[in-house]
């Protein structure tokens, strides 16, 4: 269950940590991205803070083709989402709000990054 302080919004310290971890989800280093995603998963699951943005970002990371080569990241998130949803009724309600818009965004995204579509000019 969520604490009353979690329902009112993240504290300034939690917001700072959230911004730091969000930035690391885009890091080029696979290990850094994995640690950031695992950190978010643990904090959300423990109810330390509840925010829609990291949940949406974790969904995007999970379904991103870029994460296909990161088995530890994929395993962490594939365990996190069902465990988070079944841990508490309030957790089931939280993902329902961003789920459809986030999934629409994922479905509308190209299957490959835009740079793959650019053909190199002949030399």
pLDDT at 108: 75
| pLDDT for residue 107 is more than 80 | no
Res. 66 pLDDT band, cuts 50 70 90: confident
**Strand, helix or coil at 73?**
helix
Res. 79 pLDDT band, cuts 50 70 90: very high
d(CA 44, CA 41): 5
pLDDT at 113: 55
pLDDT at 71: 93
d(CA 120, CA 9): 48
Closest CA to 49 of 12, 75, 24: 12
| pLDDT for residue 9 is more than 70 | no
């Amino acid at each position: 269950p969520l604490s009353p302080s979690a329902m009112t919004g993240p504290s300034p310290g939690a917001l700072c940590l959230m911004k730091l971890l969000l930035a690391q989800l885009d890091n080029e280093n696979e290990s850094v991205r994995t640690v950031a995603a695992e950190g978010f998963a643990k904090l959300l699951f423990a109810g330390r803070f509840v925010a829609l943005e990291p949940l949406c970002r974790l969904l995007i990371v999970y379904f991103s083709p870029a994460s296909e080569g990161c088995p530890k990241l994929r395993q962490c998130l594939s365990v996190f989402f069902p465990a988070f949803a079944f841990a508490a009724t309030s957790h089931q309600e939280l993902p329902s709000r961003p789920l459809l818009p986030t999934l629409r965004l994922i479905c509308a995204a190209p299957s490959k990054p835009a740079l793959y579509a650019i053909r190199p000019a002949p030399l």
